[in-house]
Copies of this chain bind each other. A is one copy, B any other.
């Protein structure tokens, strides 16, 4: 199986390699006859351009990098799947790069990544999309990036997020409408902007319905199941015990449900539990968790698609979008 290069195509078609290159890239100024001829040779020889050579000549890699540091595996795979969809649409590929937000090595680590792989762009997922330090660095490096679920205000870069605040607001209103007044809240990781957004959605709903905010009902989690278990203990030990718990994600909510069940509490009869994210676990456990569904794939897909647009044409207008979150009610919440 001999290698088919642009040279062999050119020779076979009886044109210069530059003309072949023109046809390859759909450039203008090629006569229809020539174009036809070259295209036919493409087919005949089954020619596939070498992306590495193209990359060298154009200083492009056709690879997008995806940064993440997230304990939720379902979130990660959803992000990946949205990103991949957009990449494949434009013949890009996706390189994944989990790393840690904390620690001085972050910038160094990302710098290393950029020099060793010549990415064409980066998708930042939480908590990286909220790291001002990283964003400042990327600006100096002159590499395009898109932010997913970021709360940072930056009109100069692509951003797609969902409305965490509205989601949390709706969920809280749902609990209130079921008659709950003592609603405990488990916060997420302080590095994630979603944490504050969800919290304020919760507070706003309380306030709208004239329920006093009580800081004793708030526990500090970090989105991990483990932290949810700790918070669950705090909350279920309260006297009087709240009648509902709203955890900032489903893993923590699952931890609350587990502890409640261990303690022979009936859910939702004795206590209502709600989460956020609509992770698979929300429907894999019994009772299923009432939660907020975010369009994670869609956010990432749009972000990456726009990123690629911007890479191919830097004058593209910067895209910024907020998608809606949706309340999903399951069995874990009921009127009291």
Chain A residues within 8 Å of B, Cβ to Cβ:
48, 50-53, 55-56, 59, 61, 63, 73-74, 76-77, 80-81, 84, 91, 93-96, 98, 115-118, 225, 251, 254-255, 257-259, 261-262, 280-281, 284-286
Contacts and interface: CB of A to CB of B under 8 A. Distances in A.
A300 to B, nearest CB: 14
Contact of A61 (B52, B94, B284): B52
Contacts of A81: 98
A55 B53 CA distance: 8
A91 B73 contact: no
Copies of this protein, total: 2
A52 to B, nearest CB: 5
A73 B258 contact: no
Contacts of A48: 115-116
9 contacts: A50-B56, A53-B56, A73-B76, A77-B77, A84-B98, A93-B95, A95-B95, A225-B280, A225-B284
Nearest to A81: B98
| Central interface residue in A56, A94, A225, A261, by most chain B CB within 10 Å | A56
A213 B74 CA distance: 37
A262 B280 contact: no
B51 A56 contact: no
Given A225-B284, A254-B284, A96 B118 contact: no
A75 to B, nearest CB: 9
B98 A96 contact: no
> Considering the complex of A and B, which 4 residue pairs feature the smallest CB-CB distances, nearest first?
A48-B115, A258-B286, A73-B77, A261-B286
Contacts of A84: 96, 98
Nearest to A59: B52
A10 to B, nearest CB: 18
Contact of A286 (B53, B94, B116, B257): B257
Given A52-B56, A63-B95, 8 more contacts: A48-B116, A51-B116, A55-B55, A93-B95, A93-B117, A225-B280, A257-B286, A259-B286
